[in-house]
Amino acid sequence: MSGSQYFVNRINRVVEQLQESALSAMFITPGSDLSYLIGYHAVPLERLTMLVVTQNHEPFLIVPRLERSAALASPFGATGWEVISWGESDDPYAIIGDRLNGLSGTIALDGHMWADRVLTIQGRFPDIDCVSAAPIINAIRVIKSLDELDHLREAAAAIDRVHAQVPRFLRAGRTEREVGRDIADLILAEGHSSVDFVIVAAGPNGASPHHEVSDRVIQDGDPVVVDIGGTMPSGYCSDCTRTYSVGEPSPEFLDSYEVLQRAQVLSTQAVRDGARSHDIDAAGRNELTEHGLGEFFIHRTGHGIGLDTHEEPYIGPDNPTVISSGMVFSIEPGFYIEGRYGARIEDIVICTPEGPETLNKQTRDLVVIPSS
């Protein structure tokens, strides 16, 4: 399939969904939905860029004149569909209104559209109702194509290469921030085009799941949670957590870590076509609860990943989403004990017809870095 055909098919699926849902149009502004639908990684600017897909007209992309050549160079430019550019003294909303011969009915707006855009659209087209396009787009994005699965495998391999080298950065006497800086450099060196987040949470900081880095000096005996991720040139994201121990961990921490390791395996093994999100969550959570750690597992088990680090499907308690082949998400149970320490183990997993395929291959055992 040619590059642009790939995106034509995605737009055609949106048109089918508009017909099925009796929506007149869908408006998509820069962000991962736009990247997904037309391969155009537009920078969000105050000037309006918007993809307009309707039931009855050909789709078109409206862009500021200064973005025209970038838009034409994207896969959308090769589809033959129109790129309309507007100059500094034009009114892009008027151009859209003319194109669509006025606008009525219900319009779906991308879920991350800026509020001022939404309000402008509502003000300029008073006869329309607006709904979120997220349910339609997410239902398409949640099932990854074979190409996307390869991109996610590459992303996981890249972040695995970073984790393989983390032990040489971790030692007592260095700060989390120093270690984090080394890791960020390595995330780029190992093939990512950007660093999305670096969490280095030593000792008590590990009890905060979204701690980033601080000036805390790593102490001998500290467990250290390292959760890192970036975006590859393909646009797809990596996300992987391993827990390390600088010097010998306490026996109590080791016992809890073993329970966590079993919980992570149990949730992973529960991944299969037709499983429900809450069952995958419960498989690991029950193991932690049986060993007194349930109350310290304070977040859901995982999140989908693709062009965004966090996207559908979410894996959590009370979530009845049916998991099916082609979905990709994290399995990342943890425990967080205020004032003491935390631990988390995170892999990205594909649901395949045969069951789970775990993309991250680095050891899930606690990596103990001997004191020097």
Residue from 227, 281, 308, 347 that binds Zn ion (CB under 5 A)? 227
| Interacting span for Zn ion (CB under 5 A) from 70-78, 272-280, 286-294, 339-347 | 339-347
Q: Is the bond into 249 cis (omega within 30 degrees of 0)? A: no
Distances (CA, A) of 191 to 97, 169, 360: 44, 19, 16
- The pattern of x and - marking residues 281 through 320 that bind Zn ion according to CB under 5 A reads ----------------------------------------
29 vs 301 by CB, closer to Zn ion: 301
Q: Which is nearer to Zn ion, 227 or 308 (CB)?
A: 227
- In the complex with Zn ion, which residue's Cβ is closer, 228 or 275? 228
Contact 359, 348 (CB under 8 A): yes
| Angstrom distance (rounded) from CA 266 to CA 211 | 26
Closest separation in Å from C-beta 329 to Zn ion = 9
Closest contact distance (angstroms) between CB of 241 and Zn ion is 5
The residue among 110 and 332 lying less far from Zn ion, judged by its C-beta, is 332
- Show the site string, 344-363: x = touches Zn ion by CB under 5 A, - = not: --x-----------------
Instruction: Pick between residue 79 and residue 243 the one whose CB is nearest to Zn ion.
Output: 243
Using CB under 5 A as the binding rule, the residues of this chain from 55 to 74 that contact Zn ion are none
Number of residues that bind Zn ion (CB under 5 A): 5
d(CA 372, CA 369): 9
Using CB under 5 A, which of 190, 239, 311, 312 touches Zn ion?
Answer: 239
Instruction: Answer for the pair 163, 204: CB distance below 8 angstroms, yes or no.
Output: no
Contact residue for Zn ion among 330, 347, 367, 369 (CB under 5 A): 330
CA angle 156, 266, 152 (to 5 degrees): 15
By CB under 5 A, the residues from 241 to 270 that bind Zn ion are: 241
**In the bound complex, what is the minimum distance in angstroms from residue 286's beta carbon to Zn ion?**
21
Minimum distance, C-beta of residue 169 to Zn ion, in the bound complex (Å): 18
Q: How far apart are CA 98 and CA 102, in angstroms?
A: 6
Which residue, among 325, 319, 286, 283, has the nearest Cα to 303 in the 3D structure?
319
* Of residues 209 and 235, the one with the C-beta less far from Zn ion: 209
Site mask for Zn ion (CB under 5 A), range 110-129, x = bound: --------------------
Footprint of Zn ion on this chain (CB under 5 A)? Answer: 227, 239, 241, 330, 346
